[in-house]
Amino acid sequence: MNIVAALRLSYSYVRYALLVLQEKQLKRSVSVRSEMRTLSAKLLQELSDLDETIVMGMNKNASLQEAEIIFSSAACLNASFPTTGPHEVNDLNMDLKAARNAFQSISTKKRLLEWISEVVRIDLCSYIQLEHRCDEDLRFYLILLECPVFRYPHLEWCQKVLTAIGRLMIHVGIFSRNRH
C-alpha cells in the first residue's frame, strides 16, 4: 500500500469516527428533544435561495450545516417526508411525492447538487458500509433516488456518487445474503 492510499484510508476512518460521534449526539438530541432533524421543502428552498458561491465556500451558513447533518445520516433521511394514514405503502411511512416536489427547488443548482453528492458519497456511503444496517434502515435510498443529484451522469461528481451508491448496494446485498 502506498502512502497516498494509506492516508486516504486513515482519512476515511477519521471521518467515520466523527460520523459515529455525530450520529450518537444526534440520537441523544432526538431522545432529549424528541425531534429529529429532517429534510424538508422549507430547508431545500432555503438552500436553493443561497448564492452558489456560498455553497462552495469554507464558511457554511446554518442551512448548509443542517443539510450536511441530514445528508450524512440515514436516520435523518429516513425520518424525512413522512406520511401517515391510508397512504402508507408497505409500512414505509414515506411520502416520496412530497420528496420529489421538494427537490424540484434545487434541481437546477449544480453547485449545490455537487456539494450534496460529496456529502452523500464521502459521509453517508462510507459510514453505512462500515456499519451493519438492517434492511429497514435502507429506506433512505428511496429518498435519494428522488434527489436531482443523479440527473447529471455526464458530470464527474455525479459519476462518483453513483459509483459510491452502487458499491453500497452491492455491499448491503452481500451482507444481507450472509445474514440469511
pLDDT (tens digit per residue) in 132-156? 555 555 678 888 888 898 899 999 9
3-state helix, strand, coil in the chain (%, to 5): 75, 0, 25
The parts of the chain modelled with pLDDT lower than 70 are: 1-34, 53-59, 84-92, 129-138, 172-180
Domain boundaries, the chain: 37-179
CA-wise closest residue to 44 among 64, 58, 59: 64
Task: Give the C-alpha separation, 93 to 84, whole Å.
Answer: 6
Output the average pLDDT for the chain: 74
Task: Give the C-alpha separation, 179 to 67, whole Å.
Answer: 33
